[in-house]
Chains A and B, each alone.
Chain A
Amino acid sequence: MNSLILRTATPFLVGLTVLFSIFVLLRGHNVPGGGFIGGLVGASAFAIYTINEGVAATRRAMIAHPVAIAGFGLFIAGLSGVASLVFGDAFMTGQWWFPAFAPDLKYLSTVVLFDIGVYLVVVGAIVAIIMGLEETE
């Protein structure tokens, strides 16, 4: 891609977008957002990066293979469902932790863990496809 503007903007754009995607993921429980949308935002960040810097650069930036990231997300999501079994509830019943120092937090829960799993799956799968296509010449 030979656009000077885009190439100059890419590092800032990508960093901000990834940050924004995490923000969208975490705010999702109370206002528009969540793992799925956050994952799409994150994936678009990596899409920009891949188109401008190439597949090899993205692979370095992501450290793990995107499919592995997606698989890990699925694993986390499944794991968050298993947690409830320990407490004698049905599979995937949400569990909350209200720590003593912040009793009103209402945030530390298996549900949020599940959402993080969704985020990782979406980012991993879409980036994998984009990278796969980008590599096919």
Chain B
Amino acid sequence: MLLTAVLAPFVLALFAPAVRRVAGPATGWLLALLPAALTAYFAGFLGAVSAGDPVSFSTPWIPSLGIHLSFYVDGLSLLFALLISGIGTFIVLYAATYLSNHADLGRFLMFILMFMGSMLGLVLADNVVTLFVFWELTSITSFLLIGFNHTSERSRRAALQALVVTGGGGLALLAGLLLMAQAGGAMELSTLLQSGDLLRDHPHYMAILVLVLIGAFTKSAQAPFHFWLPNAMEAPTPVSAYLHSATMVKAGVYLLARVNPGLGGTEVWQTVLVVFGAVTFLIGAFLALKNTDLKFMLAQTTVASLGLLVFLIGLGHELALEAAMAYLLAHALFKGGLFMVAGCIDHGTGTREVWRLSGLRTAMPITFAAGALAALSMSGLPPFVGFIAKEFVYKGTMGELWPLAITGVAILGNALMFAVAFLVGFKPFLGAPSETPKHPHEGGPGLWLGPLTLAVLGLLAGLFSGVPEALLVGPAVWAVGGTQVPVDLYLWGGFKTPLFLSLATIALGALLFWKAQAISNAMATAFAKIGNIDRGYDRFLDALVGTARAVTARLQTGTLRHYLLVTLAVVAVVLLLPMTLMGDLSVSVPLPRTDFYIWGIALLALAGGLAIAVSRSRLIAILSMGVLGMAVALIFVLFSAPDLAFTQLMVETLSVVILALVITRLPIYRSDWRGWPTAVRDGTIAVAVGVGFTLLLLSVTGRPLDLTLSEYFAARSYTEAFGRNIVNVILVDFRALDTFGEIAVVVIAGVAVLSLLAMGGRRLAQTATTSDPAVPSGQTAPVTNDEKDAR
């Protein structure tokens, strides 16, 4: 059932474009039914979960590897699942109105629904592999959503950047999760995280921690990976409201909260999370004030909020976790709402520049109401849920870990957020009406319903704080903390330190708001002078591509000689190095049979080999190779391998014919001249390969052979396949599928050689007269195929 709930958005996504074609303006209302139903479905879990009974479901996927599609609903997953499906309902509705004239709205809604399914799977997953799969799906769907305006280059760059950063983190996370599963001896998170100090005391704890943190920090845009999130604002506003405030970027926070019972609480965990979180918090809050575009301001405050959450989880004690979960809820409500308000303003006026907007209150009263309520919650004023969250943040920061510094950071950050909240939620609506590109007007109910509902919920959650406390925040805190502690959310905490800190925050925030434009300008000029990490990202990618190009140019020279040189040198090293290092060189050399004709054949082979080495004429070298090959065929005959001898004989014959044709027909230099240094180098490699193979064969034949397979085939060749020639029976019956693959390769190679000859014949003839005689580049390429084919 839970699996159905997770997969349902994916199924609906398939039909979204069709629904759009059929339903037209009603698309949003129709498609929003599913997330609404999912919200109701998840709400059905509230009873059991708030009573402290998590629910789990499991479907086998790859049971032999311990991988199941297993899901686990506890307070934390449920809080997230409700936010995803609940806010998702309004986002679908909002997007359908916001992009109602867009030709690709159907595709957009398809991506949004796919993303919703991925996100639900991520927060509900119990199995680490399931978690990873959905984690990657959120990265991919978010790539599609950010790059939705794919004709814009900035969009494409932002999409790719988000994918590179979060996808790279995802790889680290995969390693971390698998290491964790191995260390803990279980694939299910619910089992792993209840194993007490097992993971914390494990020798691989540091590796696990670093890998998981890279995954979480990239996803949740923690410094120094914070640059991708503001760039992702290239996406249409519904995406920003959904992915970049309430859901996807919180996946990293979710992960940290999820693994807290198993990995958290150590000194490293605390230090890293608190320091990175605090730095991100301040960077985000300052950059928010620097920006002048409503959406970018909100994006930066999201970075700041994520930093705050990471830092609270890092502190890790009860009050900090309470603050984190309360803030998580409050933030999803006010930030989702404010993003949609920013979208409404953009939609209604045609601009998002905060200093160009004012006096919209008469033209857009409902949007103003939503924006004001959400902004009051964000700025942390009573009686909104944002106020409760902020009070608890202060309670949480006054713990044992650097109380003064941390509280200072919190006050500064919150004051900045206060200023930004007023800039976004009040500034555009108050004052004298301004000139805007479009005549300001209110959008349809699809636009304002979402932000208004979220903002009102933020107020209600503050007024009746007992409800979220018992149903959402409490169970979530239990899940993160690992124990069921009493959780109490309240508006009025008495005249105590947190209240005074709040007052200080408001005062400082009001001051910042008053001076906002001056600060913004000052910061813009300052930042123009110093570089930023975004440019660093470009440089990093350029360097990566440049290195790849240089390496490729060095390795893929197009010269057959060079390829052979590298391949054979590697073969020599691979053969000789392990034998030397492992001291496996002392193989007993069996005394060869001393019949005179065997010596004769050996001498023949040797003569052929020497002739190849010393001959200047390539034609003679080819013929000498034929001599060598024939000698080998004779050896096969003598050691009773008639099939092998027969094949060898034919292959040698045809090789000589084909190579002779290549030499005489293609414009290749017929003489082979190399200077002393080259000759020494090539000779060394050749001797090393030869010695290596000889030693390998000696050591292999010096050991008893495992005859199981040979005996199996010998026994069954005639009884089951009615053939006495075992080699052929294996080729065409027992292992016919292998042979089928091989003859397919033969056909392809034949076609490839023909097309190379057809395409390149003329061009090669031209280049042969101009290129350097020592490097007959390209011309020899057909030879490789000939040789491969003939063998």
Contacts and interface: CB of A to CB of B under 8 A. Distances in A.
Contacts of A51: 657
B754 interface: yes
A134 interface: yes
B787 to A, nearest CB: 11
Contacts of B643: 32-34, 37
Contact of B665 (A29, A30, A96, A136): A136
Contacts of A96: 722
A81 B41 CA distance: 51
A70 B723 CA distance: 26
Nearest to A128: B750
A40 interface: yes
A19 interface: no
Given A40-B650, A128-B754, 11 more contacts: A30-B725, A32-B725, A47-B657, A51-B657, A94-B721, A107-B722, A114-B732, A118-B732, A118-B743, A129-B789, A133-B757
B737 interface: yes
Interface in A75-133: 77-78, 81, 91-92, 94, 96, 106-107, 109, 111-112, 114-115, 117-118, 121-122, 124-126, 128-130, 132-133
B548 interface: no
A23 B642 CA distance: 16
Contacts of B736: 81, 92, 94, 111, 114
Contacts of A91: 737
8 shortest A-B CB distances, which residue pairs? A125-B750, A40-B650, A29-B723, A34-B728, A30-B724, A133-B661, A106-B722, A121-B743
Contact of A29 (B657, B725, B789): B725
Nearest to A137: B665
Contacts of B666: 133, 136
Contacts of A63: none
A41 interface: yes
A67 B748 CA distance: 10
A32 B646 contact: yes
Interface string B401-437: 0000000000000000000000000000000000000
A9 B661 CA distance: 21
A22 interface: no
A38 to B, nearest CB: 9
Interface in B681-728: 721-725, 727-728
A70 B750 contact: yes
B722 A109 contact: yes
Contact of A40 (B654, B724, B761): B654
Residue with the highest number of chain A CB atoms closer than 10 Å, among B721, B728, B732, B739 = B732
A29 B727 CA distance: 9
B761 A92 contact: no
Contact of B654 (A32, A44, A111, A132): A44
29 contacts: A29-B728, A30-B725, A31-B725, A32-B727, A33-B725, A47-B654, A77-B743, A81-B736, A81-B740, A91-B737, A94-B721, A107-B722, A111-B729, A115-B728, A117-B743, A118-B731, A118-B743, A121-B743, A121-B747, A125-B746, A125-B747, A126-B790, A128-B751, A128-B754, A130-B658, A130-B661, A132-B757, A133-B757, A134-B665
Given A111-B736, A118-B739, A129 B746 contact: no
B654 A31 contact: no
A70 B729 contact: no
A85 to B, nearest CB: 13
Interface in A47-73: 47, 51, 66-67, 70-71, 73
A9 B754 CA distance: 29
B725 A74 contact: no
B776 to A, nearest CB: 16
Contacts of B654: 40, 43-44, 47, 126
Interface in B643-657: 643, 646-647, 650-651, 653-654, 657
Interface residues of B, number: 46
A126 B754 CA distance: 11
A44 B786 CA distance: 14
Interface residues of A, number: 52
Nearest to B761: A136
A29 B724 contact: yes
Nearest to A40: B650
Question: Chain A at the B interface: mostly helix, strand, loop or mixed?
Answer: helix
Interface in B428-467: none
Contact of B754 (A47, A106, A109, A129): A129
A81 B646 CA distance: 27
B753 interface: yes
Contacts of B758: 132
A14 to B, nearest CB: 14
A56 B661 CA distance: 17
B749 interface: yes
A44 B657 contact: yes
Contacts of A111: 721, 723, 729, 732-733, 736
Interface string B38-81: 00000000000000000000000000000000000000000000
B647 A31 contact: no
Given A122-B743, A130-B658, A33 B722 contact: no
B750 A126 contact: yes
A11 interface: no
A78 B754 contact: no
Given A44-B650, A118-B732, A133-B662, A67 B737 contact: no
Contacts of A132: 753-754, 757-758
B746 to A, nearest CB: 5
A33 B646 contact: yes
B23 to A, nearest CB: 45
Given A118-B732, A129-B786, A77 B740 contact: yes
A44 B736 CA distance: 25
A92 B739 CA distance: 11
A35 B725 contact: no
Nearest to A118: B743
Interface string B623-650: 0000000000000000000110011001
A33 B643 CA distance: 7
Contacts of B661: 130, 133-134
B543 interface: no
B545 interface: no
Contacts of B782: 133
A80 to B, nearest CB: 8
B207 to A, nearest CB: 44
Nearest to B750: A125
B111 to A, nearest CB: 39
A43 B721 CA distance: 28
A104 to B, nearest CB: 10
Interface in B756-791: 757-758, 761, 782, 785-786, 789-790
B744 interface: yes
Given A74-B744, A133-B666, A29 B722 contact: yes
